[in-house]
Structure 1
Amino acid sequence: MPAVPPATVVGPLTPHLYAPDAVRPLRAKEHFLQADTFVELHVHPWPQLTFSTRGVIRLSTQDGSYIVPPSRALWVPADVPHSITLIEDAELRTVYVHSWLAPPWERCEVLEISPLMRALMLALDTTPDGRPPADPQAPHRERMIAPLLIDEIERATQIRIDVPLPADKRLRQLCEALLRNPADRATLAERATAIGASERTVARLFRDQLGMNWQQWRQQAVMAHALPLLARGMAVSQVATASGYATDSAFCAMFKAATGRSPTAFQHKKPR
C-alpha cells in the first residue's frame, strides 16, 4: 500500500534568518505547525538542537529516522540534510549553535531534556533577523546562556531509539510508508508489490542494507513510535492499535520481548 502523502508541505522554515555568529552564538526560533505537515529536506552549515514544547515530531536524515517527543531533543550536526514530519500538532523549537561551540558529535543524538536545559532553551529570543529582538538584551543573554547550555547538552543522557533507513530508493520508500502509518498492517509481500519488487528481493535488501530482517526492522520502528505515546500516558490498547497490532496481548508480547518490561512500565502521567 503506498504511503499517504502529507497534508501540508512547507520549505525549510527560513534558517537563514537565524544564522548564529560570533556575536550571537545561539539563535532560537519557534513555529506552530499542524499534524501531517512535512518540512522539506534542507541543510545548513551549523548544528542544531530540535525539540517541541508539545506534540511529537519525526526528523529524518539519510541514515535514519528519529521520533522526538517533548521530553527529548535531537542534536543534528552541521551539514547534515534533514526533513521533519509533524506526527501531531506541535510547537516546534530549534536552537542553532555556532560551530565553534558545538560538541564534536558526528551523528544525530537523541537527548533527554533536563529541566535546566529546557529553561535555557526557552529563555532564548526567537525574533528573526531584520526585526529588533523582543528583548533588547538578547545578544548579551545568548552569550551568557551559551556555555551553560552546551554543558547541559554534553551531560544529557543519550537514547538509542533511532530507526535506520536504507540507501536503496525502493526499500526506503517501503520504510517511509510504514513510518508514516505504523498502523498499516500490510504484509511484506503487499508492500513489495507496491514498490515494484518481489518479496524475496525486499527481504534480501533488508539483510544487505540494514543488517536485519523485515520483522526486526518493523519492531524497531514500532518501538520508536510507541514509546513517546506511552510516555504521554496513552492507554496501552490505543498504542497497540496505533502501532498496527490487532490485539493488546500481541503488542505487549512484542514489547516485553524487545525491552524485558511491559508497556505500562514506560507510562507516565500526562503533564498538566
Structure 2
Amino acid sequence: MRTLPPAAGPGPTCERPVGLSARDLPADVVVGAHSHEWGQLTYAADGMLRVSADGGSWIVPPQRAIWIAPHVEHEVTLLEAARLTPLRVHATRAPFPGENCRVVEVGALLRELIAALVTGGDGLPERRAALLGELILDELAQAPTRPIRVPLPRDKRLLHLCRALMEAPGDSRTLGEWARAAGASERTLARLFETELGMSFGQWRRQVRLAHGASLIARGMPLWQVAEQLGYASQSAFTAMFRKTFGAPPSAYFAAGLT
C-alpha cells in the first residue's frame, strides 16, 4: 500500500464553519495517521473506506460517514477507488460534543448538501458557503448513528495480526496458525485478545466479518457472494451468525434501515 499525507488547504473559520477538500484516490492507498485542529466528517460518495481512530476501526461504505473530533489521530485506507470528501468542521461547532467518533447515515439531503459544496469549490460565494455549512451541521446533528466498530489492540504483535485479518476477513487460519506466523505462542495471543480487546479471537474475527459483510450488503452484493467472500460455508451460515449478532436476518435488518 502507498501512504499519502492528508490533503492540504485552509481550515474552517467562524464565518465559514464547514469546508472540504475533495480528491480522487485509487484503491489500496492509505492517508497516514494524522489529526486536525478542526473536526472532520470522513466521507466518500462512492467507494469504500476503512477508518482507524480512537482505538477502533470502522468500515465505511458510501451510505455512511464517520465523525472524528478535533485532535483525534486517525488513518484512512481506501478499500476501493473513491473520491474522498472530508468535511472540515470548526472546533466550536462540533455536532456531537464529547464524542471522539460517531458513524452516521448519509441521507439524501445531507448527500446533496455535500455535493453542492463540492460543485461550488473555491468559487462558491461566501454567503452561500456559510448557509450550506449551517444546513449541513443541522442535518448532521440529526443523522441516525450506524455503528459497527471493530476494536484494535495496542500490542504490536496482536495489531499486526488484526490488520492482516482485516485485509483478508475470509482468511480461515486458526489462532495457532496465526501465532506461528507471528512468532508468538497461541496462549500468548489468546491472552492478549482477552486483556486488550475483551473478547476471544473467534469473537473478534466475527466482528470483522460482520462489519465487512454489512458494508458489502449495503452496496448491493448478493448474500451468497458475501458469505463466500467472508469464508462462511454457506449463505445460511452467514445469515445465522448475522441474526445471532443483530437480532434479525440481513433482509429484515436492512429493510428496517438499521444499518
1:38 is displaced (CA, Å) by: 1.4
1:221 is displaced (CA, Å) by: 1.1
- The answer to whether residue 38 in structure 2 is matched with residue 46 in structure 1 is yes
- Equivalent position of 2:21 in the other structure: 29
- Equivalent position of 1:12 in the other structure: 6
- The SS at the match of 1:54 is coil
- Match for 1:122: what amino acid? A
How far apart in 1 are the matches of 2:247 and 2:180? 35
- Equivalent position of 1:114 in the other structure: 107
Give unpaired runs (5+ residues) of structure 2.
none
1:267 is displaced (CA, Å) by: 5.8
Which of 192, 197, 216 aligns to 1:210? It is 197
- The SS at the match of 2:21 is strand
- Equivalent position of 2:214 in the other structure: 227
Change (3 A) 1:150 1:267: closer
- Equivalent position of 2:52 in the other structure: 60
Tell whether the 8 Å contact from 2:56 to 2:152 is kept in structure 1 after alignment.
yes
Tell whether the 8 Å contact from 1:231 to 1:266 is kept in structure 2 after alignment.
no
How far apart in 2 are the matches of 1:54 and 1:212? 33
Which of 98, 102, 114 aligns to 1:105? It is 98
How far apart in 1 are the matches of 2:140 and 2:58? 18
1:163 is displaced (CA, Å) by: 0.7
1:39 is displaced (CA, Å) by: 1.3
Q: Alignment length, in residue pairs?
A: 254
Change (3 A) 1:79 1:176: same
1:182 is displaced (CA, Å) by: 0.8
Change (3 A) 1:140 1:125: farther
How far apart in 2 are the matches of 1:240 and 1:33? 28
Q: How does 1:179-198 map to 2 (within 5 A)?
A: 179-198=166-185
Give the % identical residues: 44
Which TM-score applies when normalising by structure 2?
0.91
How far apart in 2 are the matches of 1:246 and 1:75? 35
Change (3 A) 1:199 1:127: farther
Tell whether the 8 Å contact from 2:49 to 2:59 is kept in structure 1 after alignment.
yes
CA RMSD of aligned residues (A): 1.8
Q: Which moved more, 1:146-155 or 1:72-81?
A: 146-155
How far apart in 2 are the matches of 1:127 and 1:173? 42
Give unpaired runs (5+ residues) of structure 1.
1-5
Q: Which moved more, 1:199-208 or 1:258-267?
A: 258-267
Which TM-score applies when normalising by structure 1?
0.87
- Match for 2:83: what amino acid? E
Per residue, is there more helix in 1 or in 2? 2
How far apart in 1 are the matches of 2:112 and 2:120? 18
How far apart in 2 are the matches of 1:127 and 1:47? 21
